[in-house]
Amino acid sequence: MDMQVVKPQKTYRSFQLFYFLTFFGFGSLFPLLSVYLETEQGLTHTQIGLVVAMIPVTTIFIQPLWGMMSDYTRQPRRLLVIACTLAGLMAYTYTWLEGFSLLLIGVICIALFQSAIVPLSDSLSLHFVLTYKKEYGNIRLWGAIGFAVAVFIVGKVTDLTNDLTWIFYSFAFGLTASVLSLRMFPKQGQHVQVDFRSGIQTLMKEKTFMLFLCSNFLIFGPVLANNYYFGTFILSVGGTLSGVGIAFLIAAGSEAPFMNIAQKVIDRFDVTTVMLFCATVSSLRWLFYFFEPSVMLVYGTTVVQGISVGLYIPAALLFVRKTAPKAVQATAIGIYSAVGNGMGNAFFTFIGGVMLDVWSVNGMYGFFAGMTFVGMILLVVIKTRGATRSLIT
């Protein structure tokens, strides 16, 4: 990567600003998208589920393609400019759409470009921190802060104006403004010559990487699906709508301090141990919800999301970075993100909705706990194989 022309400290701050602004956009839109579709557009719950599910489904197929384009062109910064700009534009024009079909197509258009942002920026930031001995957690935590700030501010604005279209304007603002911070980003990716088919075949032959993908699917899928159903769960145990907003604020805000210490924790323990600890916390949280706790105890448990997200994400990304062959690392990150953020998100969101209909929200969390436990077993297998003992220096 062309790091010599970059001042490391200014680039470090630019990464932090970029994550704050992009996740401000994400926090503005995604927590309230289903509410907009119901109250402003009058869609049924089935239609809302289909529209929302298109975001992770699109991610499954598109994120690896963005990673491949980055590996091939070695222009991740230019790709980020395109993705952020067009995602913001698509969100702005989404407010003009009406009817289920157009709304479905519109959300797919947003996801086509939005899905590129996380894997491309993660690939750049990981290479930067490893080159200059910085901490990825201190960059990524600004995303958690941006998300938490957006949940609070945009929630207040929509309440005061009684106009949910602000979620799209705020999303567009965050992503468009983030383009300005890209000026200090490295211009080019690593110089590699790679055949994509053989590159993917290489990744498929990495047994440790494939085991991790399965584990990540089972562990992080429920974490993401919880974002869609946590509000329903709070209401079911006696909470209020305002309490839902506070719970999301606490949960998102708790990620930042854990991301701040993530690198120190990873340096102290091996990366698989950190991921296993995070998965254990998640599994216990879902199991706790299965037993119908009081609403105050539920509020208290939102803090542990800092562990299940704030520690897990930096550890998982470092695992991918160290496990995948150097020539296809951006592709590997794209596949990792597609499996967890896309496939896992879509699967557990869909299954969660079915279980809400045929069982209960508590039963759904019991299922989440069981699947997370299976993911933990796969991590134990990876650790037993000794595949990651030399990953962290």
**Are residue 24 and residue 66 in the same domain, yes or no?**
yes
In total, how many domains does the chain have? 2
**Are residue 288 and residue 351 in the same domain, yes or no?**
yes
0.85 exceeded by pTM = no
**C-alpha separations of 126 from 58, 142, 193, 261, 319 in Å:** 25, 15, 20, 16, 11
State the chain's mean pLDDT as an integer.
80
**Are residue 48 and residue 167 in the same domain, yes or no?**
yes
pLDDT band for position 132 (cuts 50, 70, 90): confident
DSSP 359: S
CATH number reported for the structural domain that contains residue 19 in this entry: 1.20.1250.20
Predicted confidence (pLDDT) per residue in 274-293, tens digit: 999 999 999 999 999 999 88
Q: Which of 125, 156, 191 is the last residue of a domain?
A: 191
Domain encompassing residue 281: 196-393
**Are residue 373 and residue 303 in the same domain, yes or no?**
yes
**Are residue 209 and residue 326 in the same domain, yes or no?**
yes
State yes or no: pLDDT of 244 exceeds 70.
no
**Are residue 359 and residue 256 in the same domain, yes or no?**
yes
| Residue 386: per-residue pLDDT | 62
**Are residue 184 and residue 204 in the same domain, yes or no?**
no
State yes or no: pLDDT of 137 exceeds 80.
no
Predicted confidence (pLDDT) per residue in 358-387, tens digit: 788 888 899 999 999 999 999 999 888 764
Q: Which of 131, 156, 191 is the last residue of a domain?
A: 191
**Are residue 231 and residue 104 in the same domain, yes or no?**
no
**Are residue 378 and residue 230 in the same domain, yes or no?**
yes
| Residue 245: per-residue pLDDT | 67
Q: Whats the size of the chain, residue-wise?
A: 393
**Are residue 152 and residue 277 in the same domain, yes or no?**
no
Percent of the chain with pLDDT over 70: 86
**Are residue 58 and residue 113 in the same domain, yes or no?**
yes
Nearest by Cα to 212 from 63, 379, 374: 379
Q: Of residues 324 and 285, which shows the higher confidence score?
A: 285
**Are residue 39 and residue 81 in the same domain, yes or no?**
yes
| Residue 191: per-residue pLDDT | 41
| Residue 276: per-residue pLDDT | 93
